[in-house]
A and B are shown apart, each in its own frame.
Chain A
Amino acid sequence: MYSQDFIFILLFVVLGLALPMATLAMIGPLLRPKHPTKEKLKTYESGLDPVGDARVRYNVRYYLFALMFLAFDVETVFLYPWAVEYHNLGLYGFTEMLIFLVLLAIGLVYAWRKKVLEWK
């Protein structure tokens, strides 16, 4: 049965969780020392006292890449089933995907021309 493959994957999830849990939460505390001091628990900032807090509003310059990623991620998802069935779709499928890709390429070219793909 096909579902057995997913049982196998479930085992990987369980093992993947078990390894960090065993080493970090169970074996680790027995082996490692625990002597926290005020200095040790300070946030690192090149050896100086940290200036202010890291939790200030932080302008992530590349949020446009994030938005473009979403569009292209969806596009990739459409490409996979197309590629799988390509040998049955033939020229018809090729034309279809050509239109799809050209439309998306227009979006990419637009972003390019508007110079939002640059680092500032």
Chain B
Amino acid sequence: MPELFGIPITGANIAFFVLALIILLSGVTVLMMDKLMHMAVALGGVFLGVAGIFILLGADFVGIVQIMIYAGAITILMVFALMLTQNGDETRTAQPHPTRTWLTLIFTVVFVGIIVIVLRSVQWPVSQNAIEPFTQPTVNLIAQALYHTYMIPFELVSLLLTAALVGAVLIARKEEE
């Protein structure tokens, strides 16, 4: 199998790097944009990329749920951007001092350098046996874990959701008065 920098060129590896690139580029775009609406769209790119990674790892249920929840969440983010700012059009405040920009750059380079050195110097354990494919659809596996093994946490989630719901209603009521 052909290799590039010691990584075999397979479909899965190519897909991973393309997805990683999408995630990183979208993430940087989120930070670079001035308008909230543009940020929200770029954020969508991040979430789609992450969903792609999940699917690539065989966790199709989690990947699809990721899309489902965040498609709604980003819509809501947009609605809130419209409500709370000058229609998602809030321009950036004063530019930071140039020295600060330079200092930020230097510290970032140093930080990334340290991380790279640390990552390269550690001997990472490598699994010797090939990963077994899932014997059942992941949905069934998740269901067995959620509704047998982790029953109490699951019920607590519903409590959490109810609390969130009641909290939202309270805030909405307060707004009106």
**Interface residue ranges, A against B (CB under 8 Å):** 2-3, 6, 54-60, 63-64, 66-71, 73-75, 77-78, 80-82, 84-85, 88-89, 92-93, 96, 99-100, 103-104, 106-108, 110-111, 114, 116
Contacts and interface: CB of A to CB of B under 8 A. Distances in A.
Secondary structure of the A contact surface, majority rule:
helix
Interface residues of B, number: 47
B169 A114 contact: yes
Interface in B53-91: 55, 58, 60-61, 65, 68-69, 72-73, 75-76, 79-80, 82-89
Secondary structure of the B contact surface, majority rule:
helix
A107 to B, nearest CB: 3
Contact of A108 (B142, B165, B172): B165
A60 B82 contact: yes
A88 B82 CA distance: 46
Given A100-B155, A110-B169, A116-B169, A74 B87 contact: no
A67 B147 CA distance: 26
B151 A104 contact: no
A103 B158 contact: yes
Given A77-B65, A81-B142, A96-B151, A106 B73 contact: no
B90 to A, nearest CB: 10
